[in-house]
Amino acid sequence: MHEMAIAEGILDIVLDYAARNQATKVTKIQLLLGEMSGVETDALQFCFEALSKKTLAEGTNLTLHRVPLMGHCKDCDATTQIERYRFLCPHCDSANLEIVSGRELQVEFLEVE
Ligand SMILES: [Zn+2]
């Protein structure tokens, strides 16, 4: 399962950070999650909870910060939010769009004790 692998990756980062900071508990994790990262948030939460049992991250407060899908038009220089995966510039109808955000999948913020 896709989300299980992602949750494992996140847990690795978190536990590594906790170990380097001699933490005894991970209290908060915030993830940056792009709209286009293709992650099921419920599944990710569930996998993370299951994997983090009996680790420093057990029972941590995991929040997801969703990043909208934004495109920059190379023809008219407008930056707009892309709705419903319609990859056309709403200003000039150009398909010459560059994705500037929405693919993120990373730990944004960590709090340990
Ligand atoms: Zn445009």
Chunked mean pLDDT (size 10), the chain, 113 residues: 91 97 97 92 94 97 95 97 90 95 95 97
Residue 51's alpha-carbon distances to 46, 47, 113, in angstroms, are 9, 6, 20
| Calpha distance 82→86 (Å, rounded) | 6
The strand order across the sheet containing 79-81 reads 79-81, 70-73, 97-101
Residue with tokens 């989300």: 3
Return the C-alpha torsion angle 10, 82, 71, 91, nearest 10. Answer: -170
Q: What is the pLDDT of residue 1?
A: 59
CATH code that applies to domain 2-112: 3.30.2320.80
Output the known binding site for Ni(2+): 2
Q: What is the pLDDT of residue 83?
A: 87
Residue 1: count other Cβ atoms within 10 Å of its Cβ.
Answer: 9
Q: What is the pLDDT of residue 23?
A: 97
Q: CA nearest 31: which of 58, 66, 68?
A: 66
Using the mean position of ligand 1's atoms as its centre, give its distance from the Cα of residue 70 in Å: 13
In contact, 81 and 68? CB cutoff 8 Å: yes
Q: What is the pLDDT of residue 2?
A: 87
Using the mean position of ligand 1's atoms as its centre, give its distance from the Cα of residue 15 in Å: 44
Using the mean position of ligand 1's atoms as its centre, give its distance from the Cα of residue 82 in Å: 12
**What one-character DSSP code corresponds to residue 81?**
E
Using the mean position of ligand 1's atoms as its centre, give its distance from the Cα of residue 91 in Å: 5
Using the mean position of ligand 1's atoms as its centre, give its distance from the Cα of residue 93 in Å: 6
Give the start-to-end residue ranges of the domains of the chain. 2-112
